[in-house]
Structure 1
Amino acid sequence: MRQLKPMSVMLGAMLLTACASSSHVVTGEQRAPIAPEEVTIYSQAPALKYEIIGTVSASSSKGLSQQGRLDAAKQELVEEAAQLGANGVIVNGLNDSGGVSTGISTGLSGGSGGFSTGLGTSITIHSADVKGQAIYVYGAGDK
């Protein structure tokens, strides 16, 4: 029971330090921002006519699972594209090979004052990274 409290503190600290970030480079004509719910993620170029607004990228270490971190990164990507007025993102780069690394170390030292020991632990959450092209897809009714 005594070890449960330190683990809870470590887990809480990990969740507080988890972060997400995104960025963009405008290479085309930026449009008025739209709601992120209006942005569609494509794994390949859509069949409809579209124009490239720019490139977007996002990274996230939020989430306890690899899928959770990937989902958070995709959400960041969509939000970044929406700020550019893009209603679509063609994902062309995905790095979700991260995961969680743990480590335990021990130490023992001695000298004229006696002996001391130590124990340390570490947990590293690797982020998921997503990159793509922010696009504006013309619908069938658009001109």
Structure 2
Amino acid sequence: MKKILVATDASEYSRKALKNALELARKFHSEVELLFVMYKPLVYDVNQLDMDLISPDLLEEAGELAIQATLEGMDVTDVSLTKKILPGKPANIILREIESENIDLVVMGSHGYGAIAGAILGSVSQRVLHGAKCSVLIAK
């Protein structure tokens, strides 16, 4: 197991996922990728040209805050950790990242942040679980 992907939304479930991933990374000398995906809805004008509703600056700021909150109090000094912030539909981006980065294991929380986000991440974890070509660990 060389590469572990941890999907985060800064929830306690995401923090538990990272904690599990770090333990596995230490045991197997694996790299960890901490990924925050910001759902980025698009609208279409009359000419069918898509326009972003979320600015790149807002995406970066939200991603940095989510990653900082996930890493708060975690000791990552002895683990190779990469942080990524990407826009899009979370399940689609996570599944794409699994393929493009040759991920061996995905670790993610079972629920997300709050009632609405929790329902979204619950469906995201289900889609990743069923669509991933690697093992998926769901942290509770």
TM-score in terms of structure 2 length = 0.28
- Higher relative CO (Cα under 8 Å, sequence separation at least 6) belongs to 2
Compare CA radii of gyration and give the structure with the larger one.
1
Structure whose residues are more often helix by fraction: 2
Q: Which has the higher strand share?
A: 1
Q: Give me the TM-score of the superposition, normalised by structure 1.
A: 0.27
